[in-house]
Structure 1
Amino acid sequence: MDREDDGNLMLTDMQIVIIGGDARQLEIIKKLTELDAKVYLVGFEHLDQPFTGAVKEKLHDIHFAEMDAIVLPVPGTNPEGEIETIFSNEKVVLTEQVLRHTPSHCTVYSGISNRYLNKITKNADRRLVNLFERDDVAIYNSIPTVEGTILMAIQNTEITIHGSSVAVLGLGRVGMSVARAFSLLGAKVKVGSRKTADLARATEMGLDSFHLSQLRNEVNDIDICINTIPHLVINAAVIAQMPSHTLIIDLASKPGGTDFRYAEKRGIKALLAPSLPGIVAPKTAGNILANVLSKLLADDLQERKGT
């Protein structure tokens, strides 16, 4: 059902726990309380901003048996289940036992996932939704990502983007937006990928392309290397072939796809920036997540009510 213009979308009777923190979650809290959901905030005790309809609680005080949804920050958890909080000194850990106390319909929403989060949700038989796997979220989110990448390139180089030589690794939803934007700014962009469809798309976009197996041969003349692949692709052998002035901007999720130790050893500046939207435009990035999340929650509520 398309609800984009549905002014009757409300979340009355839904009980949702938001575990933070992430500045983007502030827009989610605002949106969900406006839609009349009852929201519990864990890990937000240092947040001064008041939200009508939202209550700050400790994790152990939440009645999880009454929760319809659990909303995590974009990074989800670390490999041990700990959730990084920026509005609290409290250590917050999401466990399988916590999930087992929730109703069977309770859904866990995260930006991305990992083995730990996949395991505990599967063992507890709870649905996990990774918002960043959705095309709409990823494409909308690529806009502030591109702006942040351009900002980082300007701040950390001594040349203009126009006329610079740029390699973009990966042509997914973010990689495509980044490659297009830098090309439009006058950079000489080439795209590296293992997928023949990506190489064909890069050619269609008027960009040079190469297979990632040839990466070592393609970096000896670049000024900026932008990686979007969440695997170690910019290894020591690749970095050894880069000019000393090359700037590496790694947009992949932690720990990135760059050998940062060897880059530092070579004196090459390498920056890990997996959450640029939340840094450069937290309000916009938060609104993207809030709008999509509220529609998903409303769909869940309607489905349970059988309407």
Structure 2
Amino acid sequence: MLTGVRFVFLGGDARQLEVIRKCSELDAIVHIVGFDNLKERMEGVTWSELSDDLISTADVLVLPVVGCDDNGMINTLFSDEQLKLTDELMASLSRECTVYTGMAKPYLRNLCAAHHVKLTELLNRDDVAIHNSIPTAEGALVMAIENTDFTIHGSRSMVLGLGRTGFTMAKSLQGLGAEVKVGVRSEKHFARAQVMGWEPFLTRDLRDHVGNIDLIFNTIPTMIVTAQILSRMPLSSVIIDLASAPGGCDFRYAEKRGIKALLAPGLPGIVAPKTAGLIIANALVQLISDEIKIRGDGE
């Protein structure tokens, strides 16, 4: 239970609604800002205006999955109001307060550091990232189906990177009957791909493996699908770049050559906001519950 813990939620999308519901159900004190256009009325939640006084009462400050942009502006899908995280607001936070977000840009990291406020990025946690890889892979498959005239089954599909998302992506393609090649950067991942029944190769040799490829799913957040690589690919190929913006593909040259290349970050919140929201909510509640227990044991 989160009885008595004061949460302030600033903006967000449909994923944030699941987090708000979860905290309210567990008897937390919940204030939400930036949801004035939300038609649904949620029990046990207080609609509030952003102010120094409100922020100063927070035990937990919850920001959207991407906390704020490089200017401190916060995404407010359910409001026409613009919310900005300022130095003055952060100065109002209690030093016992923790700021939670999915992933933080330098602006937010620097602001928290300057005011000695603890910042937790939930998407950095293995449990969150692994669970999130499932809606990411499902969304990528939907995009692949919508942008091709052939089946995934029997396709020559390539996954670049064998991290949490790459592994789930390769496994999903295998389950649908694709011929799966996996580009890796370490011998450990090379061996893992072999054990899984995929065809591994080292990413440094990528240009030697794209000559007949139908689909590429990139998860590596650095430029890897370069103009040189694109020049060796069939014009019918489709690239779905799952890496965080700006991705790992030369989109300008892909367009010039006539190869369809799509940047697709943040798929969990697009294709399965309820599931993605519950993943974040469960991780957030677990972290706070553990902290409450530690404090209780120390008293």
The TM-score with structure 2 as length reference comes to: 0.94
Give CA deviations for 1:87-113 in whole Å, capped at 9, x if unaligned.
122222223432221111211111112
> Percent identity among equivalent residues?
50
Counterpart of 2:73, as a letter, is E
Instruction: Give runs of aligned pairs for residues 88-99 of structure 1, distance below 5 A.
Output: 88-99=79-90
Which residue of the partner structure matches residue 226 of structure 2? 235
Alpha-carbon distance between aligned partners in 1 of 2:13 and 2:139, rounded to the nearest angstrom: 17
Which residue of the partner structure matches residue 11 of structure 1? 2
Corresponding pairs, count: 298
Structure 1 residue 81 displacement after superposition: 2.1
Q: Secondary structure at the match of 2:64?
A: coil
Alpha-carbon distance between aligned partners in 2 of 1:96 and 1:192, rounded to the nearest angstrom: 43
Pair 1:159 & 2:116 matched:
no
Structure 1 residue 62 displacement after superposition: 5.1
- Structure 2 spans left out of the alignment, 5+ residues: none
Alpha-carbon distance between aligned partners in 1 of 2:250 and 2:194, rounded to the nearest angstrom: 29
Pair 1:120 & 2:111 matched:
yes
Pair 1:261 & 2:252 matched:
yes
Alignment root-mean-square deviation, CA: 1.6
C-alpha contact 1:168 1:225 (8 A) present in aligned 2:
yes
Which residue of the partner structure matches residue 44 of structure 1? 35
C-alpha contact 2:23 2:30 (8 A) present in aligned 1:
yes
Alpha-carbon distance between aligned partners in 1 of 2:291 and 2:132, rounded to the nearest angstrom: 24
Alpha-carbon distance between aligned partners in 2 of 1:180 and 1:235, rounded to the nearest angstrom: 25
Which residue of the partner structure matches residue 53 of structure 1? 44
Alpha-carbon distance between aligned partners in 2 of 1:78 and 1:236, rounded to the nearest angstrom: 30
Alpha-carbon distance between aligned partners in 2 of 1:86 and 1:240, rounded to the nearest angstrom: 40
Shift in alpha-carbon separation, 1:25–1:157, aligned structure 2, 3 A: same
Which residue of the partner structure matches residue 164 of structure 2? 173
Pair 1:207 & 2:198 matched:
yes
Give CA deviations for 1:39-63 in whole Å, capped at 9, x if unaligned.
1212211111111222222323652
Alpha-carbon distance between aligned partners in 2 of 1:55 and 1:186, rounded to the nearest angstrom: 50
Give CA deviations for 1:176-202 in whole Å, capped at 9, x if unaligned.
010011012111111112222212211
Alpha-carbon distance between aligned partners in 2 of 1:227 and 1:52, rounded to the nearest angstrom: 42
Find 1:150's aligned residue among 138, 141, 151.
141
Structure 1 residue 76 displacement after superposition: 2.0
Structure 1 residue 262 displacement after superposition: 2.1
Which residue of the partner structure matches residue 197 of structure 1? 188
Which residue of the partner structure matches residue 16 of structure 2? 25
Find 1:104's aligned residue among 87, 95, 116.
95
Pair 1:277 & 2:268 matched:
yes
- Structure 1 spans left out of the alignment, 5+ residues: 1-9
Alpha-carbon distance between aligned partners in 2 of 1:25 and 1:170, rounded to the nearest angstrom: 29
Counterpart of 1:169, as a letter, is L
